[in-house]
Amino acid sequence: MKEINFNSLKSDDKEGALNEVRLLASIKSQYIVQYMDAFIDEKSKYLCIIMEFAEKGDLNSLIKYHKEKRTEIPEEKIWNVIRCVVKGLRDLHNLKILHRDIKSANLFVSADDTVKIGDMNVSKLQKQG
């Protein structure tokens, strides 16, 4: 679950958070973190976005782990990351969605090693042209 302090956001940032919810709800792809639900917690005034759980965390954490252990990520796993990200971007672009913030911290790894694109808060829907 992603929590966003909705009251502390500026107007543009509130729109960005709501945009993320709308975009996530419209996407159905095995390479994009799946949206489940969203609500505003009345007590804390936080916007809560419930998404699919990535059992193996984000790619950034995996890279840090391998750096600390001084081990290499197997080439097969690197190719899997590339394949999944390209397929996820293809699915987003087919929906005319531009992610605009692809980085290892926004790539999540599921139990079956599928890498999924997440964190859509700066994404935009492509306008005509």
Active-site annotation holds for 101: yes
Q: Check 101, 112, 113, 119 and give the catalytic one.
A: 101
DSSP result, the chain:
-EEEEGGGS-HHHHHHHHHHHHHHHH---TTBPPEEEEEEETTTTEEEEEE---TT-BHHHHHHHHHHHT-PPPHHHHHHHHHHHHHHHHHHHHTTEE-----GGGEEE-TT--EEE---TT-EEPPP-
- Annotated catalytic sites, by residue? 101
